[in-house]
A and B are shown apart, each in its own frame.
Chain A
């Protein structure tokens, strides 16, 4: 088994991940630190607590918003998108 045999997309980028890796970890490994924008000030946010507590690393996964990148396991073919606000 190779180290990177999972591929998913983040907006327009193709991201590779190893089995069991979270979406957030794979994105950080690809040096993508900004995952979304806040709903009032439109500030950028990324992985903060890393263990599912803080809900800062929210992304849209396969159309469903408010998913925590740090705990959602990366799966091949996943479509991950930047979440802007609560994702209108």
Chain B
């Protein structure tokens, strides 16, 4: 593609959603990725589209809008990515956990999230295999799920049908600028000119910022997911322990894990979620797999007879304050960042694309985006682990 209006670096779900929003706003968009579609964090995710795991904040506003946008995209591009409004169920078994969950869900309700409190009988009515040890939980009908790789691939397919391009297998080696303004990128194979670059490279977003002579503190937070053999419908919602919410917000480097269990359209059951800051360490840690299995079985004892088929790991891109980075770079005009969504990238991608497109095209964004501005980081303040 000659002279695109904008170049999106990164063909994960965030890059795909940015490209779609810009394309729908009338821009000619080129997506570049060093690998195939969704070969980074997107391909290692569960496909969470959650409103349940966020404290009332700018991020919750982003999540609520993004959740609705997913269903709009589904209609817009004709689906094909297993989007399902399955609902989430958050449970807790400790007195403190229950009181925290009650406080959080009450606050979420005030902020427009639909919440339904359930006792043990109510929980087992919607999740018949849930352990008898659980007698308090909250149903979030707004939580949804998709197959994230298919989502990215289908969205990019739509972008291409609408005049955009996708080049894969080219590594961006240089960000070109002139007098502080973006002029394009150089890859290991070609050069592309454009006045706008969107950095949607997830865990590697800091590297791209560095290539441009700027700074972005995005670091990896490793997580494992267990995938079972295809099973009958045992788990009907995304069911997770309230500890998960605390873990998401934690800045601790050590391993944390809380049971997150859900079925998928293909019949497999996904079990998460661990979080640890170990850099890009990729080796299989069996003790984490065991811990995840134990936690999942404690929620759904029937899982003990279901077989583990695969385990995979991914790296969540996170910023020091655990908020995504969405907005213009503070040093270079024309460089935009859309990264650092941690474990919520699938859910937050459409609203991220919408905020980016609104700001680039001068449309009024649906919310004040300043909480996500890259300007909030001072160079050198944070060091990646």
Write the residues of chain A forming the contact surface with B, with a CB cutoff of 8 angstroms: 39, 64-66, 85-88
Rounded to whole Å, the gap between the CB of B82 and the closest CB of chain A is: 14
Which B residues lie within 8 Å of A87 (CB)? 232
Q: Do the beta carbons of B233 and A39 come within 8 Å of each other? A: no
- Identify the closest chain A residue to B230 (Cβ): A86
Interface residues on B, range: under 10
> A66 CA to B229 CA in the complex, in Å?
9
Interface residues of B (CB under 8 A from A): 229-233, 267, 305, 307
The smallest C-beta distance from B307 to any residue of chain A, in angstroms, reads 6
Q: Are A39 and B267 in contact (CB under 8 A)?
A: yes
- What is the bound-complex CA distance between A85 and B229, given in angstroms? 12
- When distances are taken between beta carbons in the complex, the residues of chain A under 8 Å from B305 are 64
Q: How far is the CA of A29 from the CA of B229 in the complex (A)?
A: 29
Tell me whether A88 and B232 are in contact (CB under 8 A).
yes
| Residue with the greatest number of chain A CB neighbours at <10 A, chosen from B233, B267, B307 | B267
Query: From residue B347, how far is it (CB to closest CB) to chain A in Å?
Result: 28
- Give complex CA distance A39, B266 in Å: 10
Q: Which residue of A lies closest to B307 (CB)?
A: A66
CA distance in complex: A64, B305 (Å): 8
The answer to whether B233 touches A88 (Cβ under 8 A) is yes
Question: A85-B230, A86-B229, A88-B232 given. 15 additional CB < 8 A pairs?
Answer: A39-B230, A39-B267, A64-B305, A65-B231, A65-B232, A66-B229, A66-B307, A85-B232, A85-B267, A86-B230, A86-B231, A86-B232, A86-B267, A87-B232, A88-B233
Q: State how many angstroms separate the Cβ of A54 from the closest Cβ of chain B.
A: 14
Closest to B268 in A: A86
B-side contacts of A88, CB under 8 Å: 232-233
* Contact residues in B for A86 (Cβ distance below 8 Å): 229-232, 267
**In whole Å, how far is A64's beta carbon from the nearest beta carbon of chain B?**
6
- The chain B residue with its CB closest to the CB of A55 is B229
CB pairs A–B below 8 angstroms (18 shown): A39-B230, A39-B267, A64-B305, A65-B231, A65-B232, A66-B229, A66-B307, A85-B230, A85-B232, A85-B267, A86-B229, A86-B230, A86-B231, A86-B232, A86-B267, A87-B232, A88-B232, A88-B233
